Structure 1
Amino acid sequence: MRISDQEMLAPSDIPYSLTPPYRVKTVEYTRPTTRDQRKQLIKEYNWSAPNLPAEYVYINMVTDSGTSAMSDRQWSAMMLGDESYFNCKSWYELKESLQKFSGMEYIIPSHQGRSGETILYEVLVGKGDIVPSNCHFTTTRAHCYHRGAEPIDITCPEYYDENNNSWFKGNIDIEALKKLFIEQGEKISVVELVVPNNLCAGQPVSMKNIREVRQVIDKYKKRDTKFFLDIARISENAWIIKKYEEGYGHKACIDIVREMCSYADAIHMSAKKAGLVNMGGFVAVNDKTLYQRLQPKIIKYDGFLTYGGMSGRDLEALAVGIIEGVNDYYLEDKQRQCDVFAKACTSRGVAVFNPACTLGIWINAGKCLPHIKPQEGPGTALAVQAYIEGGVGLTSMDSLHRGREDSSDPLNTAKIQLAPYELIRCAIPRRVYTDAHYEWCGEALAKAMEWGEKIPPYRRQVLDRPPIEYSDIGLRAFFDEYEPIFDHP
């Protein structure tokens, strides 16, 4: 009989802040490569780790989406998958788990997060609307533009202050949000918070901030403004609230998650992250009328209401994984691994964005390669060199890749804004790598930095790709079309 959810959290004097709360029973071998091979490969695949065939990436932290290791409990549950099209048995298992996790009554499964975003934005966002956020993810910005709306990012001032020690630099700026409601409240259809704030170095959002957004909407709204939470990594945000926000240290992370969700009108999740699955997502609401409005949309895009583009096996795996991913012992170990990785970097002189939170580690490439201008891709250059040195795959989030278009004039490339920091995201796949892997990643980054000014700046390639349509603006970061001005060492 498999260990239950309750048994996984039984009292223990084993220090899970020092050791994982699980064992490994299956291993995946990797393809050996040499430095010369890796240098040729990264050149062949357009100087981009995300473009590389995954078999050539030794430690792959390009994304944490769908890359987690599933448990024996999940694999065994998959054997119970019911593939009936309508109302399969697996759907009821999933619905019960997601209601327990979120506290929301009405659940709509979707094949991944962005299809959940699609139906919410189609129903609730229209032409001429504005949608403020702590920082829209790329696909969310694209949904805004597709609906003829303007996405507005108002990240809190603490994020822009490198010397600020706050654990909640992912917050939205509440005073700026109030001002926006007072001046343009009739245009605000939705306020969206990403928890934690993925594109702002994975920084968490406080419960106080979420509560204040609810209060601002209720007090200042001039129309039926809805409050969305993007909860792809909400469990990891909950851990930081538990550890660093007053009044939550005694609470279980699942209870913290439920409180976070209680302030929202709708939540959407790519469960490929904190759900510990390879595929899946969902939307959840408490309002029956909104649920009914969303129903035909999911049928149009993803399939019937009780499977949302997922197989019965996927539903079963998520029903188990969503609860495993909010387990306090597991989250404690996840933060421990982030701390190990951060120390592996800083001890070797690799600059890390602080604080290093439970989602992953962000490298401050602008400090690591000060000779490369922000518009010439220091993050891009360092990520490529780190792959050459150590076979690690990382995602650049520097100004070359992630400079923001002007949301009021998005087609004008002359108005693209520099990123506040020149970063590399090292997204940590869950339950996959050991401490030794993170030590090697720190070593690979340090070896890359040693080349100094021999590492080349980057520029945009001149290609025959047609321009991205207005409705797809925000997605250009998914197309890595940059090249070094001279060759890498």
Structure 2
Amino acid sequence: MVAYRSSMVERTELPSRGRRERAIEDAGYNVFNLASRDVYVDLLTDSGTGTMSTDQWAALLGGDESYAGSESFEQLEESVRDVMGFPRIVPAHQGRGAENVLYGSLVSEGDVVLNNTHFDTTRAHVANQGAEPVDCPAPGAFDPDGEGDFRGNFSVDRGYEVVDRVGADRVPVVILTITNNSAAGQPVSVENTRRVREFADRIGATFVIDACRFAENAGFVRAREGEFEGDPIADIAREQLSYADALVMSGKKDGLSNAGGFVALREEDLHEQCRQRGILYEGFPTYGGMAGRDMAALAVGLREAVEEGYVEGRLERVRTLGNLLAERGVPIYTPTGGHAVYVDAGEVFPDIPPEAFPGQTFVCELYREGGVRGVELGSFAFPGADRPDLVRLAVPRRSYHREHFEHVADAAAAVTNRENVRGLEIVSEPSTPELRHFTAELRPR
């Protein structure tokens, strides 16, 4: 496992209890509305919140800011080709920009899009095209106490059920998200990826992998899928991605960068269609919403993400947080995923009904107790979905240490043991239900 030596530090302090009380009230009991200065340990997301390496900073300083023909774009294109095996890319400012470029090119009104589990922005982009997003999770994917090495898998049987109902001509895209963020960050096997490839071929659909956490997924494959025991992480990642027609990538996750993303493609006609849409929404095809310096840093980050020691250390840090929480009696989804630990807030607050948002209640109480910011991924974030009220504690890459995790676990344990906690009700929310958790405001019931 790789160890890190700090080359730069940031001073932080735990705000007083009174300040935290005022801050969460002023934020409308939505932690997205908190100022970062009011947060002590920020586990809201692992997207763009990690620490870049000295090699990434060195590359960043040499970024080519040319509008067209940027050398930094060529470096990024080469890294995608070497690490992920795709010859063509369309850069974007981040993952949701890449989703807009690809799904805006592939999906039309009346279509049905299948995914092991759609995450919030993916679901919103599909719905924005007038299509229906349908989840096909593996059996038991949403059971915090379930068993299985690859509970993030796509249920091909469920996929065929949907196709039989709506017809193959209405299913132009099949998506596989690795790891499965909405299902507690659980991994997807290569064997399942091959089955999804066959399924997509049989119904004539484009097979897309959402590769935001492809390297973490490869780490799980090596540890749990016998065919790949002892194989290099980089080789496993290329093998798994080789079955896809296209990739959507947020460079802010396994690109180890603070900004950026891209669509990666094999087929020339689809690449050209995405390039033209990218010009409209993101920018010229050799920068696509990113500064040259960001492309240069992302090019380095993709290569670092598949290094053996990095992946082993990354998964171990998440396990460490999970173990500390479990030791203190905090109910968590097990086994832990690759980027986050998920707390079962429904078990913590069994007397709070789903319509009073036990997960969001836990998020607010965790902030109130320890200045820790997490995110709810249950009845508040996914209205109408049949899933448990989980709270995600996402671990930024190469940023926090054991003493931070000890603090988080102590705060979560204090919340778990608290009595007479009231739920919440929504005061205001946006018109797009798939995105309401970003900006809605609430109050205690």
Q: TM-score range by the shorter chain?
A: over 0.9
Q: Are 1:240 and 2:220 matched, yes or no?
A: yes
> In the superposition, relative to structure 1, how do residues 163 and 425 fare at CA in structure 2: closer, same or farther (>3 Å)?
closer
Q: Are 1:40 and 2:10 matched, yes or no?
A: no
Q: Are 1:205 and 2:188 matched, yes or no?
A: yes
Quick check: 2:381–2:435 contact (8 Å CA) kept in 1? Answer: no
* Structure 1 counterpart of 2:419: 452
Quick check: 1:169–1:203 contact (8 Å CA) kept in 2? Answer: yes
Note the 1:121-140 alignment, pairs <5 A. Answer: 121-140=103-122
* Structure 2 counterpart of 1:432: 399
Quick check: 2:17–2:369 contact (8 Å CA) kept in 1? Answer: yes
Which letter does structure 1 place at the counterpart of 2:266?
Answer: N
CA distance in 2 between partners of 1:244 and 1:250 (Å): 11
* Structure 1 counterpart of 2:168: 185
Q: Which moved more, 1:309-318 or 1:371-380?
A: 371-380
Note the 1:88-237 alignment, pairs <5 A. Answer: 88-183=70-165, 184-219=167-202, 221=203, 224-237=204-217
Which letter does structure 1 place at the counterpart of 2:69?
Answer: N
Quick check: 2:142–2:183 contact (8 Å CA) kept in 1? Answer: no
* Structure 1 counterpart of 2:301: 321
Q: Which moved more, 1:253-262 or 1:356-365?
A: 253-262
Quick check: 1:338–1:358 contact (8 Å CA) kept in 2? Answer: yes
Q: Are 1:78 and 2:60 matched, yes or no?
A: yes
Runs of 4+ in 1 over 4 A off after TM superposition: none
Displacement of 1:162 in angstroms is 4.3
- Deviations 1:293-344 (Å, cap 9, x if unpaired)? 2111111111111111111100110011111122121111111111111111
Q: Aligned-residue CA RMSD in angstroms?
A: 1.4
Quick check: 1:99–1:107 contact (8 Å CA) kept in 2? Answer: no
Quick check: 1:267–1:283 contact (8 Å CA) kept in 2? Answer: yes
Which letter does structure 2 place at the counterpart of 1:140?
Answer: T
CA distance in 2 between partners of 1:162 and 1:458 (Å): 23
Which letter does structure 2 place at the counterpart of 1:199?
Answer: S
Runs of 5+ unmatched residues, structure 2: none
* Structure 2 counterpart of 1:345: 325
* Structure 2 counterpart of 1:411: none
Quick check: 2:426–2:440 contact (8 Å CA) kept in 1? Answer: no
Give the secondary-structure state (helix, strand or coil) at the position aligned to 2:325. Answer: helix
CA distance in 2 between partners of 1:192 and 1:91 (Å): 26
- Deviations 1:394-447 (Å, cap 9, x if unpaired)? 1012213323xxxxxxxxxxxx24x42111000110000001111110101111
Displacement of 1:71 in angstroms is 0.6
- Deviations 1:105-156 (Å, cap 9, x if unpaired)? 1111111111111111121111111111111111111221221111111111
* Aligned partner of 1:284 among 264, 267, 280: 264
> In the superposition, relative to structure 1, how do residues 381 and 65 fare at CA in structure 2: closer, same or farther (>3 Å)?
same
Quick check: 1:81–1:316 contact (8 Å CA) kept in 2? Answer: yes
CA distance in 2 between partners of 1:181 and 1:33 (Å): 53
Displacement of 1:43 in angstroms is 0.9
Quick check: 1:377–1:401 contact (8 Å CA) kept in 2? Answer: no
* Structure 2 counterpart of 1:28: 10
Quick check: 2:136–2:154 contact (8 Å CA) kept in 1? Answer: yes
Runs of 5+ unmatched residues, structure 1: 1-15, 404-415
Displacement of 1:218 in angstroms is 1.7
Which letter does structure 1 place at the counterpart of 2:176?
Answer: L
Which letter does structure 2 place at the counterpart of 1:143?
Answer: H
Note the 1:391-410 alignment, pairs <5 A. Answer: 391-403=371-383
> In the superposition, relative to structure 1, how do residues 83 and 97 fare at CA in structure 2: closer, same or farther (>3 Å)?
same
* Structure 2 counterpart of 1:269: 249
Give the secondary-structure state (helix, strand or coil) at the position aligned to 1:74. Answer: helix
Quick check: 2:381–2:434 contact (8 Å CA) kept in 1? Answer: no
CA distance in 1 between partners of 2:274 and 2:309 (Å): 36
Which letter does structure 2 place at the counterpart of 1:269?
Answer: M
* Aligned partner of 2:344 among 358, 361, 364: 364
CA distance in 1 between partners of 2:21 and 2:436 (Å): 25
CA distance in 2 between partners of 1:178 and 1:401 (Å): 27
Quick check: 1:299–1:305 contact (8 Å CA) kept in 2? Answer: yes
Greater Rg by CA:
1
Give the secondary-structure state (helix, strand or coil) at the position aligned to 1:316. Answer: helix
Give the secondary-structure state (helix, strand or coil) at the position aligned to 2:201. Answer: helix
Number of aligned residues: 444
Q: Are 1:478 and 2:438 matched, yes or no?
A: yes
Displacement of 1:66 in angstroms is 0.7
Give the secondary-structure state (helix, strand or coil) at the position aligned to 1:400. Answer: coil
- Deviations 1:205-224 (Å, cap 9, x if unpaired)? 111111101111223x1xx4
Q: Percent identity?
A: 37
Which letter does structure 1 place at the counterpart of 2:437?
Answer: A
Displacement of 1:179 in angstroms is 2.7
Quick check: 2:77–2:87 contact (8 Å CA) kept in 1? Answer: no
Give the secondary-structure state (helix, strand or coil) at the position aligned to 1:324. Answer: helix
Which letter does structure 2 place at the counterpart of 1:204?
Answer: P
Q: Are 1:310 and 2:290 matched, yes or no?
A: yes
